[in-house]
């Protein structure tokens, strides 16, 4: 199957499962699914309604497959050039407070879109712990290892960062 990959890492994992990863911007997914350019996709539930993919998809595998970092950034010089009262507005509405607010919104949308798929009669297969599932563990570990090895080959500490990220994901349940 040809599966739209959201990132190089996910592409390695998709390939390790025997599928062909296809690089494709999100705004091209609808027509690509419609025309058979891709057979499926890796996408968060939140985006299903946004991109109207619920109109074209009827089968879903619901699992924690990958995580993307979402961030809001600002040019440091622009920030430093703001008056103190405006800096305070930004400071009061960013950081952990913003992360918690966005996380809660993300969780709610996840639940809403998953339920919408169920309500429209879609088939949803839940694989809630793929690293402990015999059908998924091997391919997931193989794809992850390939990516980490590629990053290590650049002289970077990929495994160290990966271990810290796994640690933080357990400790930092908000």
> Looking at the DSSP assignment, which residues form a beta bridge with residue 59?
123
At residue 173, does pLDDT exceed 70? no
- Domain 2-171 fold is D-Maltodextrin-Binding Protein; domain 2 (3.40.190)
**Which of 51, 39, 41 minimizes the C-alpha distance to 2?**
39
pLDDT for 83 equals 97
Domain extent listing, the chain: 2-171
When pLDDT is cut at 50, 70 and 90, the band that residue 165 belongs to is: confident
At residue 7, does pLDDT exceed 50? yes
> Looking at the DSSP assignment, which residues form a beta bridge with residue 21?
3
Query: Is residue 4 classed as helix, strand or coil in its secondary structure?
Result: strand
**Which of 111, 127, 5 minimizes the C-alpha distance to 48?**
111
Q: Per residue in 88-136, pLDDT tens?
A: 999 998 988 888 888 898 889 889 999 999 999 999 999 989 989 998 9
Chain centroid to Cα 99, Å, comes to: 16
Distance from C-alpha of 7 to C-alpha of 114, rounded to nearest angstrom: 22
pLDDT for 65 equals 75
Q: Per residue in 35-85, pLDDT tens?
A: 999 999 998 888 898 999 999 999 999 988 776 677 788 999 999 999 999
pLDDT for 172 equals 53
pLDDT for 8 equals 82
Range with the lowest mean pLDDT among 5-9, 28-32, 113-117?
5-9
User: Hey, what long-range contacts does 133-142 have (CB within 8 A, 24 or more apart)?
Assistant: 136/63, 139/13, 139/16, 139/17, 139/18, 140/13, 140/16, 142/13, 142/16
Residue that the structure tokens 């025309």 belong to: 35
Distance from the first to the final alpha carbon of the chain: 36
């Amino acid at each position: 199957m040809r599966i739209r990959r959201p990132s190089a890492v996910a592409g390695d994992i998709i390939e390790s499962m025997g599928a062909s990863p296809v690089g494709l911007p999100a705004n091209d997914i609808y027509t690509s699914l419609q025309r058979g350019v891709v057979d499926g996709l890796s996408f968060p539930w939140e985006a299903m309604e946004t991109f109207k993919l619920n109109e074209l998809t009827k089968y879903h595998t619901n699992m924690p497959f990958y995580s993307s970092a979402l961030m809001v950034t600002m040019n440091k010089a622009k920030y430093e050039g703001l008056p103190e009262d405006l800096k305070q507005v930004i400071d009061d509405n960013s950081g952990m407070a913003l992360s918690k607010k966005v996380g809660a919104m993300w969780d709610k949308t996840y639940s809403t879109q998953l339920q919408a798929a169920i309500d429209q009669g879609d088939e949803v297969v839940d694989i809630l712990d793929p690293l402990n599932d015999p059908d998924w563990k091997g391919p997931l570990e193989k794809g992850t290892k390939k990516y980490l090895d590629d990053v290590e080959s650049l002289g970077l500490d990929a495994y160290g960062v990966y271990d810290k990220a796994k640690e933080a994901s357990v400790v930092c349940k908000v």
